[in-house]
Amino acid sequence: MGLAPYLNIRNFTDNLPNKPLEYMSAGLPIVSCLRGVLERLLSEADCGVMYEEENPDDLAARLIELYECPERRNRMAQNSFQLFQDKFVADNVYTDMMHYLEELGGRLPTKDT
């Protein structure tokens, strides 16, 4: 499991920190207290669990739950790796960006219009 114990400040909640991406690339389920972008991603992809910030008992409970349920942990690990492959591998990111820019360029007015 990868632990992502970030502070819930806007710089982190509005963005996706690098460390969870490294965990995903290794196929690790993520355990985090970070709300916002990461929380939504973990929930939608079912690749991690959340614990209450500044609550070590809750963190321990989440770790024990995952330890005691290898099927769930393995499913989250597979989902984590698949999410990384689908959304964060450089070839996919650059291809998606290229298509977006081509689409955007097609909507822009030209000198002739």
Total tally of structural domains belonging to the chain:
1
Burial of 107 by CB count in 10 Å (0-12 exposed, 13-18 middle, 19+ buried)? exposed
pLDDT at 110: 63
The 10s digit of each residue's pLDDT in 47-93 is 999 999 999 999 999 999 999 999 999 999 999 999 999 999 988 77
Q: Per the domain annotation, does 43 fall within a domain?
A: yes
CATH code where residue 46 lies: 3.40.50.2000
Q: Per the domain annotation, does 71 fall within a domain?
A: yes
pLDDT class of 94 with cuts at 50, 70, 90: confident
pLDDT at 112: 63
State the residue range of the domain holding 40: 2-87
Q: What are phi and psi of 32, to 5 degrees?
A: -145, 160
Q: Give the number of other Cβ atoms within 10 Å of residue 84's Cβ.
A: 22
Radius of gyration of the chain (CA): 18
The 10s digit of each residue's pLDDT in 18-36 is 999 999 999 999 999 999 9
Q: Per the domain annotation, does 93 fall within a domain?
A: no
